Amino acid sequence: MKNIQYTTSPGIPHLSMDEEFPCHKNGPEWWYSTGYMHNEEGQLISYQFTLAKIRLFGITFNILITGLTDLETGRHFYTQESIFFGKNVIITPSLVGVEGKAKMTFTAEKLTVKMTGEDYSLNIDLDVVKPRVWHCDEGALKMGIEQNYTYYWSYTNLALSGKLVLEGKEHHVSGKGWFDKQGGPYNIADRRTQWEWFSMRFFDNEEIMLFSFPHVPYQDGTYIEESGIYRRINDYQIEPLGWAEARNLKFSTGWKVKINGVKEEEYTLIPIIDGQFNFFFFELLAEIQDKTGTVVGYSFVELLPGVYNEKNTLLSAFARVK
């Protein structure tokens, strides 16, 4: 663990974003980036990078997840690795990752993502378009139930450019990225703390983050204007339009979203392709359509199995993806 730096922050209440960035002694947490990009031929591709610190059954370990999805062909490329004793894990104020596998670097103006898996590698710059934001209640998000919280901040608008190598073919790519740092004192094993997450990324350079616990019920969120001004929102409704199944688990798919007093208020999220099960969450990219059916942005959607499934799904985290 020589390459893991720890903060002195208790998390709740939080300190500055910079002080919250390194590793915390207690509670699960993750450094997470997703984005969508087009290559020179106009193909739409999404990426995901996650480095997580998890504690289950008294054992603390890290999970590294990287993935790419070709939205044109529906093919998903994915790597998942459980890492014990912090072996080769790096967490510093300017770098997170796993040596030889994947890393993210950070400066005030730019983030970079470098990741490699079977049949793919990605090397991109993510230029900061907007300042960082604290989500929900000044950075505190109640994880569905009392006494369970995370501290949560993001770069919600990053201009993406760089190089993708997919199945031996090199592409120049450009698009839009997002970065989250989140974690805190909550019980990851309690299904009531599992969520549905929507990060809506509009083409007009505004963003909406919705964090919903419909089985509790509880919800919270953030609206970020083009100027970078942001505010908390929790007056919204999400209506599932259908259901999907993965690993014999049930997930919502397709959603009507009404956000009272924000932008055009009513949108429909339509998955571009079927989602994929990563670690123990279901993830996909959806089109954001307005009332006329016009696509006005894209939304990453992350769904945890505890929302609509009562069975214990934690051990699915260790299953190898075929």
Task: Read off the CATH number of the domain in which 63 is found.
Answer: 2.40.370.10
Residue 321 pLDDT more than 50?
Answer: no
Quote the pTM value.
0.94
Is residue 8 in some structural domain? Answer: no
Residue 320 pLDDT more than 60?
Answer: no
Q: Do 81 and 319 touch, CB atoms closer than 8 A?
A: no
Mean pLDDT of the chain: 92
Residue 12: which pLDDT band, with cuts at 50, 70 and 90? confident
* Alpha carbon separation from 308 to 150, 237, 245, 313 (Å, rounded): 22, 17, 11, 11
Residue 141 pLDDT: 97
Segment among 67-71, 200-204, 277-281 with least mean pLDDT: 277-281
Is residue 1 in some structural domain? Answer: no
Is residue 7 in some structural domain? Answer: no
Residue 56 pLDDT more than 90?
Answer: no
Residue 314 pLDDT: 57
Is residue 90 in some structural domain? Answer: yes
Tokens of 266: 């009513």
Residue 11 pLDDT: 78
Residue 112: which pLDDT band, with cuts at 50, 70 and 90? very high
Tell me what the mean pLDDT of segment 258-281 comes to: 91
Tell me what the mean pLDDT of segment 121-126 comes to: 98
Residue 53 pLDDT more than 70?
Answer: yes
Element (H, E) at 106: strand 102-106
Is residue 252 in some structural domain? Answer: yes
The Cα 225–Cα 262 span in angstroms is 10
Is residue 269 in some structural domain? Answer: yes
Segment among 81-90, 219-228, 274-283, 290-299 with least mean pLDDT: 274-283
Residue 317 pLDDT: 46
Residue 322 pLDDT more than 50?
Answer: no
The Cα 60–Cα 82 span in angstroms is 11
Q: How many domains does the chain have?
A: 1
Is residue 11 in some structural domain? Answer: no
Is residue 3 in some structural domain? Answer: no
Q: Which domain holds residue 140?
A: 17-318
Q: Do 55 and 72 touch, CB atoms closer than 8 A?
A: no
Residue 318: which pLDDT band, with cuts at 50, 70 and 90? very low
Residue 303 pLDDT more than 60?
Answer: yes
Residue 55 pLDDT: 81
User: Residues of 166-181 as b/e, b for ≥16 C-beta within 10 angstroms?
Assistant: beeeebebebbbbbbb
Tokens of 206: 């505004």
Considering 21-30, 55-64, 277-286, the range whose residues carry the highest mean pLDDT is: 21-30
**Which spans in the chain are helix H?**
17-20
